[in-house]
């Protein structure tokens, strides 16, 4: 906090200062600042506090009836006065997170070109591939510590949105700041504009991206390589988060870069960490261990296989052999259960096939093993949906699961809300209130017979802000599996249900900043013990994390020249 009291020396003045979102204070500029920075007459007479500004902004926000209008309104505040934006979001996190993030951000990506107002972040288009270094120098942020990058091809469960995918890095980075205390000055959203195969975007006269089919293969790989090399030259210590890449690219990109720079794939690893954390909390509250569960997945893609591998690693840490752990995990995709000998599986899916000898008698008429057949034969206690396809946890599937398992754990994690595998109220009705439900998108508590069931939001948003804070605090140079596992365990320790035997599976969003600090602490400790942190061992880690935590408060400005 002492840090924050030091004045900032600012070379901008007049309208340019008011147009600089990181520095603008609007009506909160003091009398002295108004004189020193040539602002007299550019602002209303009254000098306001940030609380007064936030009160007015909240009133205006509340007048909008649609979530998209609210989203556009908040994004506009973000683009004009970031401090006020974060003050507002922090004060109303439960109400505003679904507006700046999932699910509304999905619609904002689909309508990106329609609602476009101001420049934010970097848009790197394939036709500009020969001047990426120059373009990075145009960035409005110079001291970048965290980048979220997408190519817009798998936006939530909404498919290819081309340049509209930019909504996702913007939304994720907003959470890095509001939930993880990363100064907005340190963040940079990037979209790789490599075309789009979505006819709705290509045929839309308003579409603002490169109007071309997606590039692929060698051209695509080379372009990504050029961008990442340029990022490393410009910001060698940056944490790079890959987000919402299509299945064919997500894992190969992670494999290609994970040992070369400080990076992770949020859909594979962040999702795995939050899901394992949630499952650990669920097991703890039931007095069991993860190794005792049998787990079925619908969707064996980036998220599904990422979660499965993290579950297996946790089961092994609880004493199972790798083979025993894999035996307990059933992956169902479009063509049924992943089994040995199946054609066209990607390398990361091949590691998760079931032994055909065990499952051959389960097959239906078409020779494949459906989700229902897995439920009836394997009798899972945990069911996870990451298919992006809505409604597939049918009444029959859930009731069959409940027949074999008194208190099933059911996580329909697909986003946004329109893609959920089953709605929580249905799952609870079909299981007489016995299921433990968590979803990827936010849902209100379910009321049945005067009992209220809270629905946890099992979304990687519980994890990545804490990872970012931990990485910055200890100056980590890589993201290791131990760091991710540490984040899961730290999250599980924050679970009200695990702690007290009742209440929600995951902590309320009002506590997210404290949760992020705990995750950051665990992540940084794991980074130090893995030898990937530059921070010296005897520094007080907790104090360093607190010192890194940015708060949306105005600082005093003093004038300086360029």
Ligand X SMILES: O=C(O)C[C@H](O)C(=O)O
Ligand Y SMILES: NC(=O)c1ccc[n+]([C@@H]2O[C@H](COP(=O)([O-])OP(=O)(O)OC[C@H]3O[C@@H](n4cnc5c(N)ncnc54)[C@H](O)[C@@H]3O)[C@@H](O)[C@H]2O)c1
Q: Which of the residues are catalytic?
A: 101, 172
Residue 528's binding partner out of Mg ion, ligand X, ligand Y, none, with CB under 5 to 8 Å set by partner kind: none
Q: How far is the CB of 242 from ligand Y (least distance, A)?
A: 11
Rounded to whole angstroms, how far apart are CA atoms 267 and 273? 10
Interstrand relation of 409-412 and 382-385 (parallel, antiparallel or unpaired): parallel
Q: What's the rounded Cα separation, in Å, for the pair 274 and 413? A: 11
Sheet bearing 263-265, strands edge to edge: 122-125, 187-193, 146-150, 239-242, 263-265
Based on CB atoms, which residue is closest to ligand X, 339 or 459? 459
Q: Could you say whether residue 488 binds ligand X (CB under 6 A)?
A: no
Quote the least distance from Cβ 371 to ligand Y, whole Å.
7
Q: Does 300 help bind ligand Y (rule: CB under 6 A)?
A: yes
- Which option in ligand X, Mg ion, ligand Y, none does residue 78 bind, with CB closer than 5 to 8 A by kind? none
Q: Which of residues 326-385 bind ligand X (CB under 6 A)?
A: none
Q: Which is nearer to ligand X, 459 or 513 (CB)?
A: 459
Q: Is 247 in the site for ligand X (CB under 6 A)?
A: no
> Closer to Mg ion at the Cβ: 132 or 254?
254
Which residues fall in the annotated binding site for (S)-malate? Answer: 154, 415, 459
Give backbone dihedrals phi and psi of 69, rounded to 5 degrees, phi first: -65, -40
Q: Is 102 in the site for ligand X (CB under 6 A)?
A: yes
Asked if residue 383 lies in contact with residue 408, where contact means CB atoms within 8 angstroms, the answer is yes
Q: Which two tokens stand for residue 337?
A: 């259960």
Instruction: Summarize as ranges the residues that interact with Mg ion (CB under 5 A).
Output: 244, 267
Scanning residues 443 to 462, which ones bind ligand X (CB under 6 A)? 459-460
CB within 8 Å of 120: residues ≥ 6 apart: 78, 79, 166, 170, 189
The answer to whether the peptide bond before residue 416 is cis (omega within 30 degrees of 0) is yes
Nearest residue to 300 via CA among 369, 381, 379: 369
Please give the structure tokens belonging to residue 178. 């509001």
- H helices of 287-321, in order, are 302-317
> Within positions 151 to 170, which residues make up the interface with ligand X, using CB under 6 A?
156
Alpha carbon distance 492, 470 (integer Å) = 17
Residue 414 makes contact with ligand Y by CB under 6 A = yes
Of 244, 296, 292, whose CA–CA distance to 106 is shortest? Answer: 244
In whole angstroms, the minimum distance from the beta carbon of 156 to ligand X comes to 5
Count CB neighbours of 119 within 10 A: 9
Least Cβ distance, residue 243 to Mg ion (angstroms): 5
- For ligand Y, give the closer residue by CB, 153 or 193: 153
Residue 299 is a binding residue for ligand Y (CB under 6 A): yes
Pick one of ligand Y, Mg ion, ligand X, none as the site partner of residue 249 (Cβ within 5 to 8 A by kind).
none
Q: Which of ligand X, Mg ion, ligand Y, none sits in contact with 83, Cβ below 5 to 8 A by type?
A: none
- What residues from 227 to 246 belong to the interface with ligand X (CB under 6 A)? 244
Instruction: Indicate the burial class of 128 (C-beta count within 10 angstroms; 0-12, 13-18, 19 or more).
Output: middle
| Closest to Mg ion by CB, 306 or 552 | 306
The residues binding ligand X (CB under 6 A) are 102, 156, 244, 266-267, 415, 440, 459-460
The residues binding ligand Y (CB under 6 A) are 154, 156-157, 247, 267, 271, 274, 298-304, 333-334, 386-389, 392, 413-415, 419, 440, 458-460
């Amino acid at each position: 906090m002492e840090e924050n009291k030091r004045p900032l020396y600012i070379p901008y003045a007049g309208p340019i200062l008011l147009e600089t979102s990181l520095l603008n204070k609007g009506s909160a500029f003091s009398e002295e600042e108004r004189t020193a920075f040539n602002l007299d007459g550019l602002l209303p007479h009254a000098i306001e506090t940030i609380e007064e500004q936030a009160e007015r902004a909240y009133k205006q926000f509340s007048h909008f009836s649609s979530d998209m209008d609210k989203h556009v309104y908040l994004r506009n505040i973000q683009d004009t006065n970031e401090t006020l934006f974060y003050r507002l979001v922090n004060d109303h996190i439960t109400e505003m997170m679904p507006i700046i993030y999932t699910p509304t951000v999905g619609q904002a990506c689909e309508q990106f070109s329609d609602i476009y107002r101001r420049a934010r972040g970097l848009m790197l288009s394939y036709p500009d591939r020969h001047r990426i270094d120059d373009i990075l120098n145009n960035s409005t942020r110079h001291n970048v510590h965290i980048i979220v990058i997408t190519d817009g091809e798998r936006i939530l469960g909404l498919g290819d949105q081309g340049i509209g995918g930019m909504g996702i890095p913007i939304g994720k980075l907003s959470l890095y700041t509001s939930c993880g205390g990363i100064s907005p000055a340190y963040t940079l959203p990037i979209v790789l504009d490599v075309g789009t195969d979505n006819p709705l975007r290509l045929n839309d006269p308003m579409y603002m991206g490169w109007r071309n089919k997606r590039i692929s293969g060698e051209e695509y790989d080379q372009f990504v390589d050029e961008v990442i090399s340029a990022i490393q030259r410009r910001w060698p210590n940056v944490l790079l988060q890959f987000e919402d890449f299509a299945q064919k690219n997500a894992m190969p990109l992670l494999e290609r870069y994970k040992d070369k720079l400080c990076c992770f794939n949020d859909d594979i690893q962040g999702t795995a960490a939050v899901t394992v954390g949630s499952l650990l909390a669920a097991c703890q509250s039931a007095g069991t261990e993860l190794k005792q569960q049998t787990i079925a997945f619908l969707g064996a893609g980036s998220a599904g296989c990422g979660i499965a591998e993290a579950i297996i690693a946790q089961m092994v840490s609880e004493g199972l052999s790798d083979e025993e752990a894999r035996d307990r995990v059933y992956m169902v995709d479009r063509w049924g259960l992943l089994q040995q000998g199946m054609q066209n599986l990607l390398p990361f899916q091949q590691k998760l096939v079931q032994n055909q000898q065990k499952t051959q008698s389960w097959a239906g008429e078409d020779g494949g093993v459906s989700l229902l057949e897995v439920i009836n034969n394997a009798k899972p206690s945990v069911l996870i949906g990451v298919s992006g396809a809505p409604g597939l946890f049918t009444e029959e599937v859930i009731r069959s699961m409940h027949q074999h398992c008194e208190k099933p754990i059911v996580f329909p994690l697909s986003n946004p809300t329109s893609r959920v595998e089953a709605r929580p109220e249905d799952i609870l009705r079909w299981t007489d209130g016995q299921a433990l439900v968590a979803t990827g998108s936010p849902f209100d508590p379910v009321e049945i017979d005067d009992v209220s069931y809270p629905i946890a939001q099992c979304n990687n948003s519980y994890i990545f802000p804490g990872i970012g804070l931990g990485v910055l605090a200890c100056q980590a140079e890589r993201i290791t599996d131990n760091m991710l596992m540490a984040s899961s365990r730290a999250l599980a320790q924050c679970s009200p249900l695990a702690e007290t035997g009742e209440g929600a599976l995951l902590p309320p969003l009002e506590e997210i900043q404290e949760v992020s600090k705990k995750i950051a602490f665990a992540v940084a400790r794991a980074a130090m013990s893995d030898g990937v942190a530059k921070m010296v061992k005897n520094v007080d880690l907790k104090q360093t994390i607190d010192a890194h935590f940015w708060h949306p408060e105005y600082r005093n400005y003093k004038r300086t020249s360029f």
